Structure 1
C-alpha cells in the first residue's frame, strides 16, 4: 500500500454496522438513570417546538447527548463505553455486518487505502472496531468537548464536514470508492468515482439518484 493507492471510504453506522451505534449508546446512558430520562421528557415541549421551527433534530440530539453525559467528563467515557459494548447480547463483535467486513477486508487485500468516516463518537467507534478486529483501519469520527457539566459534540464528522476532516487526516478527495447507507454522505459520494449504497431507504435512494451524475450500486447487506 502506498500514498498513491486508491482510497476507499466507508461510512460506519448502518453501513458496516447493524444499528446506529451512537444513538444506541446514548439511549443506554439515559436509561441507566431515570432522572436523565425525566429531564429529557420535561424539555420535550421546547425541543419539539424547535424542531417544528427549524425542521431539524439537531438540538434534540445535542440536548440528549448533554443530559446523557451530565456529571461525566471525557475521562469517564472509555469505561462507560466498555460497559455498553460488553452488554451486547451476542457479544461485542455482533454489531458488525459480516458481508460489510468481508468487503472492507477485500479492499485491504487489494492494497487499497481504506478509511472509515463516521458521525459516531470517536472513542465509541474505536472500541467497536477494536472488538471487531478492525482497529488497524484508519478512522475519522466525531469528537466531544466539556460543556456545562456534560459533553457536547465538538467536531462532527457528518455530512459535508466529512470532506475536510478526511482531507486533514491525509485522505483527500477524489476517492476511488465510497460506501454509505444515507444521503447525508452525498458530499462524499459526489467526490467518489464508484458509489455503493447499503440497503438505502426509498426516500434516501431517490435523493441520491437525483443528485449523482452516475448510478450507484445497491448492496443489500442488512
Structure 2
C-alpha cells in the first residue's frame, strides 16, 4: 500500500521544493506515540498482557527486526477492534487536541513553513507519523493545502495495521511517487534517520540537534548542512 494519499496531493510546477519533517520539527515529541499512549491509558486492561510479557518484549527490542515487529504488534494490539471510521474519529479528535495546545507546536518552524509558502515554494511535510493523525493536526492549524506524505494503515479484520512505514529511505521512494526527485531545495529534520532525505537537498537544516549529531551529519553532508534551534 502506498503512503501517498492521492494525485490531488501533488500539484505540479517548477517551484522550489521544501521538505519538512513533522515530529520534532513542526510539533514537539512523537505525535503518534502520544496517541497510542492515550489509547492504552483509556483501555488499560489490554496493557496487562504486555506487562506480563515485558521480558520477552524487551528481548525482541534488542534487534532492528525485532523492534519493527514489536512496533507493529503494539500498534495493532492497541487499536484492535477499531474499524476505519472509529479510528479516523479518534485520530482526528486527538490531532485537534494536540494542535489546540500551543505548547505542542514549534512556533519558529511554522513561521519558516509559512515563509516558504508565501515565497511560492512547494512545501511538503514528509513524516513517519500516521497520515490521518498528521493530516488532522495540519488541517486544524489551517494548513489544508500543505502536501503530506506519511505512514499509512491498512484497515481490515481485527483493526488497523501498519501498511506503510514512511521512515528513512522509504521517504525517498514516496517522494519519487509524487514526482519529487533529488535535488530538492531545502529539507528540515531533527533526526539523523532522515539523512537520506537531507542528503537529497541543496540545503539541509537540522533542528534542535546536539553538537555530536550535527558533526556526524556534517561528516556526511558537508557544508550543505546547517543547524537551527527552534523553541
TM-score by length of 1: 0.90
Separation in 1 of the partners of 2:53 and 2:33?
A: 19
Instruction: Identify unmatched segments of 5+ residues in structure 1.
Output: none
Q: Deviations over 1:112-149 (max 9, x none)?
A: 11100000000000100011111210000010114661
Q: Does 1:162 align with 2:171?
A: yes
Contact 2:185 2:203 in 1 (8 A): yes
Q: Is the 8 A contact 2:96 2:136 kept in 1?
A: no
8 Å CA contact 1:140, 1:169 repeated in 2: no
CA RMSD of aligned residues (A): 2.2
Distance in 2 between the 1:152 and 1:140 partners? 18
Q: What is aligned with 1:22?
A: 32
Aligned mates of 1:2, 1:109 — CA distance in 2: 17
Aligned residue pairs total: 221
Secondary structure in structure 1 of the residue aligned to 2:61: helix
8 A contact 2:94–2:133 mirrored in 1: no
Ranges in structure 2 where 5+ consecutive residues have no aligned partner: 1-10
Q: Call closer, same or farther: CA 1:209–1:125 in 2, change over 3 Å.
A: same
* Correspondence for 2:198: 189
SS for the counterpart of 1:52 is: coil
User: 1:50-108: per-residue Cα shift (whole Å, max 9, x none)?
Assistant: 222448632332222111101112221121123323545x8256532111011001111
Q: Does 2:55 align with 1:41? A: no
